[in-house]
Amino acid sequence: MLSASWRFRRYRIFGAGLFVTFFLGGAATSCLYAQDYPPDRARGKAVYERHCQHCHGMTGQGDGPDAGSLKVSPANFQRFQSFLKSDEELLRTIEHGVVFSPMHSWRGQLTDGEMQDVVAYIRVLSQQTR
């Protein structure tokens, strides 16, 4: 039978292990997914042309070749509403999609860096008419 002081020490060691695992391990994990470089418009343009242009169009006006067959029109990035959206809003839309629309989630298909690069390129498109 273990003494009360040994059980207390065992729980302290276990608690310290949990702290290291969840807090320090979580911080290390989040660093692995962070983009180590600033978003790049050129990389974003390449990703946009490969994955987004079919619906949103070459200039981001929502007039891509697939746009006509969609029940909900794709976003027009040259409209003032898109210009007013924050980078976080755009990133959340790319990452999670839009409910009841053809804009699906790109999480798992694009890396965090690629999504941030696309947001940087969308900013270029949204400023073309300004």
Residues 45 and 11 reside in one and the same domain: no
- In angstroms, the Cα distances linking 115 to 14, 76, 88, 122, 127 are 39, 18, 11, 10, 19
* Whether residues 75 and 121 fall in one domain: yes
Are 27 and 46 within one domain? Answer: no
Q: What does the alpha-carbon distance between residue 67 and residue 113 come to, in Å, rounded to a whole number?
A: 26
The reply to whether 30 and 70 lie within a common domain is no
Q: Are residues 59 and 92 in the same domain?
A: yes
Angle at 105 between CA 128 and CA 120, to 5 degrees: 30
| Number of domains making up the chain | 2
CA nearest neighbour of 97 among 84, 87, 106, 110:
106
* pLDDT tens figures, 47-85: 999 999 999 999 999 999 999 999 999 999 999 988 899
Which CATH number do you get for residue 98?
A: 1.10.760.10
Do 15 and 56 share a domain, yes or no? no
Identify the domain containing residue 15 by its residue range.
Answer: 1-34
Higher pLDDT, 34 or 84: 84
